[in-house]
Amino acid sequence: MQTLFCMDMLENKSEELLDKLCEAVESMPEIRPFCDILVEGVLKNREAIDQVIEQSSDNWKLFRMACVDRNILRIAVFEMLYCDDIPPRVTINEAVDIGKKFGTEDSGAFINGILDNIYQKHTPLPSETKTPNP
């Protein structure tokens, strides 16, 4: 989240900045691979992720959202739409917790509302994922 936050605040998505920001993660090699997946996935799919967020956030344009909230949402939406091995409810709970820790006092509720809306619109119901019996 911190890497995407910095890149967003500086309006700089260069490989050079990404490498410098990721150096800070070197002290925790066990999380670096997952960090790389999240950062690269969000950057690669940012346009589509941002569209999903804006379509699911009534009366909120992405540029008006707090930078912390915006990047927590981007990571969560990436996980929900592109990481099949992470249950959406786990992603939502973690995003809300991170929002409460790093955002404003309203961030948790704000993030929860948007992610729940995305979950309702973009996650198939269990009956929709089952193949019908012949």
**pLDDT given for residue 58 in this prediction:** 80
16 by DSSP, 3-state: which? helix
Domain layout of the chain by residue ranges: 2-123
The reply to whether the predicted model has a pTM over 0.75 is: yes
What CA dihedral angle connects 82, 42, 67 and 123, to 10 degrees?
-10
Contacts of 129 (CB under 8 A, 6+ apart): none
Topology at the third CATH level for domain 2-123: N-utilizing Substance Protein B Homolog; Chain A (1.10.940)
- Helix 32-44 to helix 67-82 angle, to the nearest 10 degrees? 100
Q: Which residues of 36-72 are buried (b: 16+ CB within 10 A; e: fewer)?
A: eebbebbbebbeebbebbeebbeebeeeebeebbbbb
Q: Which residue has the higher pLDDT, 101 or 126?
A: 101
pLDDT, one tens digit per residue, over 91-120 is 999 999 999 988 899 999 999 999 999 999
